[in-house]
Amino acid sequence: MAENREKLLAALRSRTGGYAVLDPSALAEAEALFAATTRVHDLPETCHAAGTLHWRRARSLADERAAHEVDVAVLLFMMVHRSGSPLPLPEPIASSLAEDLADPPGDLTWMRFLEVLETWLSNGADPYRLRLAVHVGRNAARSTPAGHPARSVHLIFLANALRCLFEHSGDLASLDEATEIGQRGAAEAWTDEDRAAFLAGLATSLRVRYEHTGDVSALHRSAETSRWVLRIIPDDHPRRFVVLMELSLALRTLYHRTDDPALLDESCALGAAAIEAFSADSPPPAEMLTNHSSALRALFERTGRQKVLGEAIAVARRAAGRALPRTPVQVACRYNLAGLLREQFEHTGDLPALDEAITLARAVVDVTGPLHPDAPLYRSALTAWLVDRFQRTGDPATLDEAIALGRTALEAVSEEHPLWTQSATNLAVALKAKADHIGDAGLLGEAIALHRRSARNAHGRFRAGAATVLANALLASYELTGDTAALREAIGQGRTALAALSADDPARAICAVNLSHALHELAGATGEDHAAQEAVGLLEEVAGQEQARTAVRIDAARGWGRLAVRRGETEGAARGLAAAVELLPRLAARGLSRSDATRWLAEYARLAGDAAALAVATGRPERAVELLEMGRGVLLAQALDSRTDLTELRERDAALADRFAYLATRLDADETGGPSDSPDLRRELAGELAELTERIRSLPGLDRFLLPPDLTRLRAEARGGPVVMVNVSDHRCDALILTASGVQVQELPALSTRAVHERLAVMRDALACRSSRSEPERERAERAMHATLAWLWDAVAGPVLDRLGLTGAPDGDRRLWWVPCGPMAYFPLHAAGHHQDPPGPGRRTVMDRVTSSYTTTVRALAHARARQAERPGARRPRVLVVAMPETPGATPLPGARVEYSRLSRLFPGLDGLVGRDATRDAVLSRLPGSAWAHFACHAAADPADPSGSHLLVHDHAGRPLDVVEVSRLRLRDAELAYLSACNTAVTAPELADECVHVVTAFQLAGFSHVVGTLWEIGDAVAAQFAGTVYEGLVAAGSDPAHAARCLHRATRALRDRHPDRPTLWASHVHMGA
C-alpha cells in the first residue's frame, strides 16, 4: 500500500499545468491517493499534492469552473496548515490561512482532518469531494481500534459522508453502507451518547432510502428511530434540534404518503421547536430553515391559510440567504423557495411570484447535472411552472420548453421510482395544454395514457390530483371527439378524486369544479337532469368552502349562477352570482401588483352587472345596488379605504390609527417596493393591514370599519339629487335610481347588450370620421352622433327622467349623478337627447332638464363630498396651470397658450408651468400647494394597461405623469382639476367598471371636482370652452361647488351655437361632488 501511495503521489506531483492537470485521470489519481493514505501522518502530504493539483487546475481555467477548483484547493491546504506541516502553500492562500486560523497546530489526529472535511458534508459538495471525504473517513475508522473513544466519531462521519455521496451521485451501495454502519454502531455503542448519534444518522439514512426507492417500511423505521433517539438524549442536549428536525421531516413525508393531518401538525410543531432552540447570535442552518418552510407549505396546502404561506416564504428566503454559494444546500434552498412562490401565484395570481419561481428553478436546473438524483425532481417541477406561465401569457415557446423538460425528467426515472408519478403527471399536463392549443389529438392521446398510469401509481392526496387531471384530459377528448365513453370515464375519475380527499381539504375545491364541468357536459349531451343538479350542487359547495383558493371559489360561484340560469332557477342563480361578487375584493387583494389585480378584475368584468340584474329579477333592487357597489370599482374602493377619515379610530386607539395610516401609505406609495425591499414586502404589508383592520372592527362603534356601505349610507348620498346606476346585462337592463327614500327600478326594454355594442361601434366610427377632409364624411359623422344621442334618450335617459318627474325645463338648479356600468361608461349620458327638437320646455334632452355629473360608485361620490365639506367654499383659489403648446413627439397645441393667457387674466398671480418647465417632477411638486389645477395638453389613454394612461408633460417620454403617479398623491387643499385634454375619462373595455383613467386618478389625489373628456377635442374649441367654464366659476365667487353647473351651462351654450356638431359639445364630463 505504501509503495502504491508513493507512485500515486509522484504521478500527481508531475502534473504541473496545461492538459496534464485538466486530464480527468488526474482526479482519479487524487482519489486513489486518498484511498491509499491509511496513516494519518501521511495525510498532510496527500492533501498538499491534491491541493496543488486543484490550484493548478484553477489557474489553467478561465471560466466559472476556476472558482470550484479554488474552493477545493483552499480546504485541502487548510488541512495542511492545521497539521503544522512545513510544506509550502501558494500565495495568497498561505497568508490568508495564517490570518484566519490563529489556533496553533495541535496533535496530528484523524479528528483534526475530519473537522475540516465536515464543512463539505454540512454545506454540500459534489461527488468527487464527497468521495475524498469517504476515503478519509474510512481510513480513519479502519485505523482506530474497537473500544477507542474516537472510533464512534470516525464511523459516524463515514456514515454521513456515504449518505451525502448517495444523495449527490445515486450510488445505492453508499447508502447501504451508511445504513449498515448506523445499525452496527448503535448495537455496539458503549454509551447512550454514541448510540443516539448512530441512531440519528440511521434515521436520516432510512428516510433518504424511502425518498429515492419508495421503501415505505424504511420511512416508518426512520420515524420510530428518531423517536427512540429523543427518548435517549436529555432535553437540554446541544444537538437535540437535529433529531427534532429529522423527525419533522420523516413525519411530513409520512403525511404526504398517508394524508394524516395529525402527522403534519406534529411535523410543523417539531420543526418550530428545532428552530426555536437557536439564538439570534447563532441562527439555524439553511437546511433546517428550508425543511421547516416545506412543512409550512404542506400546512398551507392543507388549510389554504395565506398567513401560513407568507410565513413559509419568509423562512425559505432566510434559508436561501444563509446557504453558502455554489453548494448543493443553496440549490435545495432555492428550489424550495421557488416552489413556495409558485404556490403564491397559484393562490393569488401573483405573476411576479411565478416569474421569480421560474428564474430560481431554471438556475437550479442549470447547475444540476442530468445524472444527479434530484435532476428529475427539478426538471419536472419546472415543467409544471412553465405550463402555468403559458396558461397565463399564451407564450407557445414556454410550453415547448415545458414539454422538453418534462420528457427529460420522465426518461430519468423508472415507473417504480417515487418521482415517476409526479414527472408523468406534469408532462401529461403540458402535453394536454399543447394539444388544446393546436388541436392535436395525438398529443392528447399521449397525455391521457400518461395520466392513466399516474393515477394507478398515485397514493394519498396525490391520488386526487392524478385523478382530476386525468378527468380533465378525458373531458377534452370528449369535446374533441364526442365520445361519451370518455365523458363518463372523466366523471368516474372526478368522483375518485373527491373520494380521496377529506371534506375540509382545499384541493377538494378544484376537483369538484372539474367534476362539475364533466357533469354539465353529460347533462347537455344526454339530457340527464340529475347530472346538471349534481353539478350545481358541487359548485355551490365550492363557493362556500372558506379554505379553497379565492379564484376557484369565484369560478365556482359564477358557474353555479350560470348553470342555475340555464335551468330556470333564478333564485339560485342570483345567490350564486352574488356570492361571486362578494369574493371579488379578496381576489384583487392589496398584496397583488396593480397589473395582476386588474387582470383578475378584467377576467370577471360584468360579473357585478349580471348579479345585480338577477337581484332585480328576484325583487331585490336594494341588493342590486349593494352588489354594484361591491363588485365595481374594486381597486378604487381599496384606494379610498386608505384615505378614510381616521378621526373616530384615533379617539379610541391612536396607535392603531397611526399604524393603519402607515401601512395604507406604504401600500399606496409603491407598487413593487424599492430596490432594497424584499420581494415579499407588499404581501407582508397587505397581510398586516388585513389583520389590523379586523382588530379595528373589534373596537366599540367601529364594527363596519371599511366595510362596503349599506343601503342606508348609500341613500344618504342621494340628498343632493338622484344617483342613477345604468346596468346592462344579458339577463335584463335597468336603471337603478337611488333617492333619499329608497331604490326605484326603471326597466329599460329598449336597451340590450347587443344594442349597446352596436351603438358604441357606430359612435366610435363617427368620432373617427369627424376630422375627415371630406365634408360629406364629417356631416355623416355628426348625423351618426345625433342618432346615438337620440338612442340614448329613448333607451335610457328619457325613461329615467320621466320616472323622476323631470319632464320640463329645470325649476332652479336640479342635479343628477350618472353611474354608467360596463360599456355604458363610454356614452355621453349627460348629452342624451333629441337635440334637433325645437327649443322649449318639453325638449327631449337631458341637458335641458337637469345638470348632470358622473361618479364611478356611490362610495366615490361620498368621498368627494367629504373632501368638499372640508374646504372653505367660495374664495380666491391658488391656481396651477400646466400648458403644453409644444410637446416633444406630439402635434402643437396653440390653443394651450390661449387657455393659459385667458386664465392668467382671470386669476392674476397664478402658478404657471409652460412648455419645457412643465416636467413631471415640477408638476408633482406644485400640486400640493394648489387648490385648482388646469392642464392644457395632450393625453394618452393606454388600452393595454389603463394605469399607464397619462398626461403629456414635457418629459412624458421618459417620465410620464400617469394614473399611478397621480393617484398616489394625497393633496390636502385640492378642490378642482380641469383636464383640457383628450380621452381622460376612458379606460379599457374590460375594465370599464373599474374606471381606471386619468380623471379618477385626480379624484383619488384629492380633487372633489374633476372635468375630463370622453373623446378627442379640438384645440381651439377646448380653449374657448374652458374659458367659458372659468368665467362662470369666477362669477359664482370661485366656489368649486359650482363646477358642474358651469360646465353644464358652457355645454348648453356651445350646443346652442353649433347644434349640428354634437362631437364638439358632448365630450366634456364632470365627475365628483
For the segment 1045-1070, what is each residue's pLDDT rounded down to a tens digit?
A: 999 999 999 999 999 999 999 999 99
Q: pTM (2 decimals)?
A: 0.77
* Cell digits of residue 543: 363557493
Peptide bond into 885 cis (omega under 30): no
Last residue of a domain, one of 705, 729, 747: 705
User: Which range is most confident: 272-286, 486-500, 708-722, 768-782?
Assistant: 486-500
The pLDDT, as a whole number, for residue 1 is 63
Inform me whether the pLDDT recorded for 812 exceeds 60.
no
The pLDDT, as a whole number, for residue 872 is 66
User: Do 695 and 717 sit in the same domain of this protein?
Assistant: no
Under the banding of pLDDT at 50, 70 and 90, the label for residue 675 is very low
Strand 1009-1013 versus strand 1068-1072 pairing type: antiparallel
Residue 618 lies inside a defined structural domain of this protein: no
| Mean pLDDT value across the chain | 90
Query: Which whole number is the average pLDDT over 709-722?
Result: 88
Under the banding of pLDDT at 50, 70 and 90, the label for residue 742 is very high
| % of the chain exceeding 90 in pLDDT | 63
H/E element, 746: strand 742-747
Phi, psi (5° rounding) for residue 882? Answer: -110, 115
User: Do 789 and 842 sit in the same domain of this protein?
Assistant: yes
Is residue 790 a contact partner of residue 828, using CB atoms and an 8 Å limit? no
Residue 1017 lies inside a defined structural domain of this protein: yes
User: Do 700 and 716 sit in the same domain of this protein?
Assistant: no
User: Do 698 and 738 sit in the same domain of this protein?
Assistant: no
User: Do 848 and 720 sit in the same domain of this protein?
Assistant: yes
The pLDDT, as a whole number, for residue 995 is 83
Residue 396 lies inside a defined structural domain of this protein: no
Is residue 637 a contact partner of residue 859, using CB atoms and an 8 Å limit? yes
User: Do 766 and 886 sit in the same domain of this protein?
Assistant: no
Query: Which whole number is the average pLDDT over 546-575?
Result: 93
Domain encompassing residue 1018: 870-1072
| % of the chain exceeding 70 in pLDDT | 97
Q: Is 465 helix (H, G, I), strand (E, B) or coil?
A: helix
Is residue 740 a contact partner of residue 711, using CB atoms and an 8 Å limit? no
For the segment 687-713, what is each residue's pLDDT rounded down to a tens digit?
A: 888 888 889 989 888 888 888 888 888
The pLDDT, as a whole number, for residue 612 is 97
The pLDDT, as a whole number, for residue 776 is 87
User: Do 809 and 847 sit in the same domain of this protein?
Assistant: yes
Q: Is 316 helix (H, G, I), strand (E, B) or coil?
A: helix
Cα 448 from Cα 307, distance rounded (Å): 36
Peptide bond into 285 cis (omega under 30): no
- Quote the number of domains for the chain: 4
Last residue of a domain, one of 47, 77, 108: 108
Query: Which whole number is the average pLDDT over 653-678?
Result: 71
Residue 445 lies inside a defined structural domain of this protein: no
The pLDDT, as a whole number, for residue 676 is 40
User: Do 925 and 1052 sit in the same domain of this protein?
Assistant: yes
Is residue 646 a contact partner of residue 661, using CB atoms and an 8 Å limit? yes
User: Do 701 and 783 sit in the same domain of this protein?
Assistant: no
* Cell digits of residue 1061: 356638431
Residue 227 lies inside a defined structural domain of this protein: no
User: Do 801 and 874 sit in the same domain of this protein?
Assistant: no
Cα 456 from Cα 463, distance rounded (Å): 8
The pLDDT, as a whole number, for residue 674 is 41
User: Do 27 and 103 sit in the same domain of this protein?
Assistant: yes
Query: Which whole number is the average pLDDT over 198-207?
Result: 96
User: Do 922 and 806 sit in the same domain of this protein?
Assistant: no
User: Which range is most confident: 98-112, 434-448, 802-816?
Assistant: 434-448
Cα 143 from Cα 42, distance rounded (Å): 13
Residue the block writes with cell 394539444? 435
For the segment 304-332, what is each residue's pLDDT rounded down to a tens digit?
A: 888 899 999 999 999 999 998 878 889 99
Under the banding of pLDDT at 50, 70 and 90, the label for residue 29 is very high
Residue 51 lies inside a defined structural domain of this protein: yes
Last residue of a domain, one of 108, 137, 153: 108
Residue 934 lies inside a defined structural domain of this protein: yes
For the segment 438-468, what is each residue's pLDDT rounded down to a tens digit?
A: 999 999 999 999 999 999 988 877 889 999 9
Cα 848 from Cα 54, distance rounded (Å): 91
For the segment 245-270, what is each residue's pLDDT rounded down to a tens digit?
A: 999 999 999 998 888 899 999 999 99
Under the banding of pLDDT at 50, 70 and 90, the label for residue 923 is very high
The pLDDT, as a whole number, for residue 672 is 43
Residue 794 lies inside a defined structural domain of this protein: yes
CATH code for the domain in which residue 902 is found: 3.40.50.1460
